[in-house]
A and B are shown apart, each in its own frame.
Chain A
Amino acid sequence: MRTVERTTPMRGDVSLTSWKNLFMRRLRTWLADDWKTLRTAVDWVIAIYFIVPGLIAAGLIYAAWWREPPPWLAYIPYEIMIVLVFVSTLSFSVRTFLEPADEVFLQQHRSALNVIRRLGLAYSLTVAALAAAGLFFVLSPLLVRGYGMSPADVGLLAAYTYLWKLIVPPAVDIFRFRMSGWRSRIARGAVIVTGGLLFLTSSHAFHGSGSALRLLVECLCVAGAGSAAFGIVRARLREPGALRFEIERERRARMRLTSFLLARSGIKEDKSALREKRPLIFRRSQPLTGRRGKRAVLMESVIKSCIRSSDQWFFLAKYMWAAVTALALTPGWIGFIVYGGLMFLLYQGVRFYCTIAVNSSYLDLFRWTKEERLVAVNDAVWRISLPAAVILLIVLLATY
């Protein structure tokens, strides 16, 4: 009998453990990079003057909520709270840590891709569970003391919310894969609105006087959401085009990290493909101001580049939400100090995006001086920040 000595690995030779190791290595790298970014963003000045006092203040406020619900909670109906909880469910995404090269090198190893994607799903589900637990840890004094829910109700609502995280965003992804352009946007919007209405309606089951029947209904809601989540997540993973989308999403996630680190070093960003063909704001490339000249055009480009970025809007929305909450919770003159801190954070945040824009490689093709870039960033930062600063000042004065 002739024996053949194999000198090169064949398809299927690589063990399951290797792919697990590959995934774990990527996850560790990602977490290390994330930590590095956080360390870069939160230097000791921010930590000492903002983060630590903020955490202490938050702890004190949290303890006070358990003793007595805040007076403003009386003006917030349960439905509004549920809508806000629903908004938190939209943040779920399946992280796979796939890389562009995987599409080429692992195409022959479908089992490897499946292992990596399954591990990615497990990681994403864990992160989502932790996020939901964290949210309900924060909300529990309001729900228990303010809305009179029992701890069991809160626990089941937390589980229900977690499962909705696995329903709406994956369903949105499915429509993203199946449609394009305005049809996709409308379909995705419809999924979110319908999901929100269903969540709002069904969440009433968790609020009210305690009875065995209501507890049973709550459990049925959770079970129903669980089976829906299982089906939708499975369909989402099997959807044609999902793999490429995941690779692109990972690439963008890495680029965001890289852009941040490079921008902090004053270097440049990298580019990624766009889905939108033309802008939603200034659709016909209208100039922002009547000013002409080198510096004005550079400043305009920086502003447009920032205000057209969904990341920037997402940052501003999150910032405004946190800032308005912080101002509403802060009593008396302390609000002015908090306002000062918020302005500093706003300045830093907007400056970060503007710095990325002004360090673009495109500008390196021409002779822009460092001074011209700096002036453009400074001009752009206050113009972008001004509306938010005014709104927060109004909130501060109204709550003072």
Chain B
Amino acid sequence: MQVLQVDIQQGGYDADEPVIHDIRFTVSQGELVGIIGPNGAGKSTTIKAVMGLLKHVTGRVELCGPNGNYAYIPEQPILYERLTLWEHLRLAAAAHELPDEQFHSASGQLLRRFRLEHVIHRYPAGFSKGMQQKVMLIAGFMAKPDLYIVDEPFIGLDPHAMKDLIGLLQEELRRGAGVIMSTHMLDTAEKLCDRYLLIEKGTIAASGTLDDLRAACGLPDGSLLDCYTAICARSDEHADG
């Protein structure tokens, strides 16, 4: 069963200046789709379009999971200056309309998992970048939504937290959630993702499983990095030619 269907003809920050075009993909339950591509290719814009935060979009984005909900975990931690960690989580739980018992149980487990239970009454705005990223992860994972939209989740995390995050993503995939993950860490993406969308110059330059990408660029034993490099080079040649 699909949890997300995306069919964007074009989208951008100004009506007459589209940044992305012809972005079409789906995400199914238990599937992790990696969005990869060079800086400025349109990955974050695609994510914004999926979340409905892009002002000018022509197309259709449908959250078609059982509950029709999603959690977004941004690349840069976004926090209130004057709310404690606990209050941030309570606000996130309220937004997802989680019952009290579920909030206490889920937040407690996640706080222990990310080793933040001793700082729940502190301001996260004063935490290190890695700790702030953990707060974002807890706020996102607490609700157990149909779809996770995760933007560069590994930046700033220590190896222990990275392992925890990967474990958590795999648990959620087993539960039946779908995940879109934008990342530059191709070796990690290669181990985790079921499918890839390689976005280049605002559109999908290649998509599919690693085998599909290998076939597309003629590298039967190539790594994700090899395929990425080959497809981007080909795309540049087309642009030059």
The answer to whether B82 and A285 have CB atoms under 8 Å apart is no
Given A271-B79, A304-B82, are A365 and B123 neighbors across the interface (CB < 8 Å)? no
Which of chain B's residues have a CB closer than 8 A to the CB of A367?
69, 95
The answer to whether A301 and B139 have CB atoms under 8 Å apart is no
CB of B141 to closest CB in A, whole Å? 13
CB of A182 to closest CB in B, whole Å? 15
CB of A383 to closest CB in B, whole Å? 16
The answer to whether A273 and B125 have CB atoms under 8 Å apart is yes
Which of chain B's residues have a CB closer than 8 A to the CB of A278?
84, 121-123
Given A294-B97, A304-B87, are A366 and B92 neighbors across the interface (CB < 8 Å)? yes
The reply on B81 being an interface residue by CB < 8 A is yes
In the complex, chain A residues 362-399 whose Cβ is within 8 Å of any chain B Cβ = 362-368
Q: How many residues of B contact A (CB 8 A)?
A: 32
The reply on B80 being an interface residue by CB < 8 A is yes
Which of chain B's residues have a CB closer than 8 A to the CB of A297?
90-91, 93-94
A292 to B97, CA, bound (A): 10
The reply on A274 being an interface residue by CB < 8 A is yes
The answer to whether A277 and B122 have CB atoms under 8 Å apart is yes
The reply on A309 being an interface residue by CB < 8 A is yes
A169 to B81, CA, bound (A): 25
The reply on A308 being an interface residue by CB < 8 A is yes
The answer to whether B91 and A301 have CB atoms under 8 Å apart is yes
The answer to whether B81 and A305 have CB atoms under 8 Å apart is yes
The answer to whether B78 and A365 have CB atoms under 8 Å apart is yes
Given A285-B87, A297-B90, are A274 and B123 neighbors across the interface (CB < 8 Å)? yes
The reply on A361 being an interface residue by CB < 8 A is yes
The reply on B96 being an interface residue by CB < 8 A is yes
B-contact bits for A332-373, CB 8 A (1 contact / 0 none): 000000000000000000000000010011111111100000
CB of B102 to closest CB in A, whole Å? 13
The answer to whether B126 and A294 have CB atoms under 8 Å apart is no
The answer to whether B95 and A276 have CB atoms under 8 Å apart is no
Which of chain B's residues have a CB closer than 8 A to the CB of A211?
none
The reply on B217 being an interface residue by CB < 8 A is no
The answer to whether A298 and B94 have CB atoms under 8 Å apart is yes
The answer to whether B139 and A365 have CB atoms under 8 Å apart is yes
A301 to B78, CA, bound (A): 15
CB of B53 to closest CB in A, whole Å? 7
The answer to whether A276 and B83 have CB atoms under 8 Å apart is no
Closest to B136 in A: A365
The answer to whether B120 and A305 have CB atoms under 8 Å apart is no
Given A362-B79, A362-B80, A362-B91, are A285 and B86 neighbors across the interface (CB < 8 Å)? yes
Which of chain B's residues have a CB closer than 8 A to the CB of A100?
none
B-contact bits for A67-94, CB 8 A (1 contact / 0 none): 0000000000000000000000000000
With A271-B79, A301-B91, A360-B78 known, 20 other A-B pairs at CB within 8 A are A271-B80, A272-B81, A273-B125, A274-B82, A274-B125, A276-B123, A278-B121, A278-B123, A279-B121, A279-B123, A285-B86, A292-B100, A297-B93, A301-B80, A301-B90, A305-B80, A305-B83, A364-B78, A365-B136, A365-B139
